[in-house]
């Protein structure tokens, strides 16, 4: 069989999205018999490299085949094929990550790790767990702001407002976020996709403004010196 290495194949790039051309840089194929059912499983694994974002990822799509008797005559058989479920690692990111996410690790490894889990839950469509995770991420962010200890979410929001860390509008937004997280944690409320998007935009705005602002040193060029004033001519 001709080697597939170096040839191109379309894949679902974790960064660039589905149906993107990639180069096959690794390939493995094998077949084996199913433990119980009379069928053959054929697995073909690809290590793909996306030239656009320079990321590599594994992808496979197993196929199954089964030989079954057909017709009335003994020995008449036909082989049927069907496709199995595609597998991939890393999985495509359905939710766009904020540009500051890698830098968050330098501010708080715990909050960074929480955000990675949160995005993994969102990508997997685990809505209740994602909503609870957002509430936890809010609490973790709050803990980084050196405010006097308080145990209720309401108390935490009041402390933020009183310390001038947030305004009234953000207070209301964060209050809605923690209420939603509570509803998922205690009553199993399942937010919709749109509600999750709204909750994430409230959370990321809060983290960006309270933790990430100032992470990059602004270095504008100095003001050019003013030209010396010309003495007024007297005639
Ligand atoms: Zn890519």
Q: Is the pLDDT of residue 119 over 90?
A: yes
Residue 29 lies in a domain: yes
Residues 111 and 82 reside in one and the same domain: no
User: In this model, does residue 78 exceed pLDDT 90?
Assistant: no
Q: How far apart (Å, rounded) are the C-alpha atoms in residues 134 and 181? A: 7
Whether 83 and 130 share a structural domain: no
Domain count, the chain: 2
Q: Which residue has better confidence, 227 or 180? A: 180
Q: Are residues 131 and 194 in the same domain?
A: yes
Confidence of residue 5 (pLDDT cuts 50, 70, 90): very high
Q: How far is the CA of 192 from the centre of ligand 1 (A)?
A: 28
Last residue of a domain, one of 89, 111, 132: 89
d(CA 85, CA 143): 43
User: Does some domain include residue 227?
Assistant: no
> Is the pLDDT score of 27 beyond 80?
yes
Q: Does any domain span residue 49?
A: yes
- Whether residue 115 lies inside any domain: the answer is yes
Amino acid 55: pLDDT: 93
Percent of the chain with pLDDT over 90: 61
Range of the domain at 176: 101-212
Q: Return d(Cα 47, Cα 27) in angstroms, integer.
A: 6
Q: What pLDDT shows up at residue 69?
A: 74
| CA 33, chain centre distance (Å) | 36
pLDDT of residue 11: 93
Residues 90, 124: Cα–Cα separation, whole Å: 12
CATH code for the domain of 139: 1.20.120
- How far, in Å, from the CA of 13 to the mean position of ligand 1? 5
Distance (angstroms) between ligand 1 centre and the Cα of 17 equals: 7
- Of 207, 153, 148, nearest in space to 175 by CA: 153
Based on the domain organization, do 125 and 148 belong to the same domain? yes
Alpha-carbon gap, residue 173 to 153, rounded angstroms: 13
**Which tens digits make up the pLDDT trace of 167-223?**
999 999 999 999 999 999 999 999 999 999 999 999 999 999 999 886 556 677 888
Instruction: Please check whether residues 82 and 12 belong to one and the same domain.
Output: yes
User: What is the pLDDT averaged over residues 25-52?
Assistant: 90
What is the CA(16)–ligand 1 centre distance, in A? 4
Q: Are residues 129 and 63 in the same domain?
A: no
Residue 94 lies in a domain: no
66 CA distance to ligand 1 middle (Å): 36
pTM confidence score? 0.68
> Domain boundary residue among 40, 69, 89?
89
> Does residue 64 lie in a domain region?
yes
58 and 24 housed in the same domain: yes
Is residue 120 located within the same domain as residue 193? yes
Q: Are residue 119 and residue 45 in the same domain, yes or no?
A: no
Do 30 and 79 lie in one domain? The reply is yes
Angle at Cα 26 formed by Cα 19 and Cα 88, nearest 5°?
Answer: 45
């Amino acid at each position: 069989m001709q080697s597939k290495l170096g040839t191109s194949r379309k894949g679902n790039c974790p960064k660039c999205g589905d149906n993107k051309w990639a180069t096959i840089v690794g390939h493995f194929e094998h077949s084996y018999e199913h433990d119980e059912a009379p069928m053959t499983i054929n697995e073909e694994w690809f290590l793909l490299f996306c030239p656009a974002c320079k990321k590599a990822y594994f992808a496979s799509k197993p196929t199954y085949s089964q030989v079954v008797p057909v017709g009335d005559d003994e020995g008449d058989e036909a082989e049927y094929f069907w496709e199995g479920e595609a597998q991939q690692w890393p999985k495509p990111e359905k939710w766009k990550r904020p540009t500051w996410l890698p830098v968050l690790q330098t501010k708080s490894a715990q909050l960074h790790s929480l955000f990675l889990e949160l995005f993994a839950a969102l990508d997997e469509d685990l809505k209740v767990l994602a909503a609870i995770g957002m509430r936890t991420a809010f609490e973790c962010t709050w803990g980084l702001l050196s405010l006097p200890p308080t145990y209720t979410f309401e108390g935490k929001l009041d402390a933020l407002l009183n310390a001038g860390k947030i305004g009234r509008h953000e207070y209301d937004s964060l209050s809605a976020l923690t209420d939603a997280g509570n509803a998922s944690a205690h009553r199993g409320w399942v937010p919709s996709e749109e509600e999750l998007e709204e909750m994430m935009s409230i959370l990321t705005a809060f983290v960006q403004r309270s933790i990430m602002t100032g992470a990059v040193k602004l270095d504008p060029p100095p003001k050019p010196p003013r030209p010396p004033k010309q003495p007024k001519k007297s005639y």
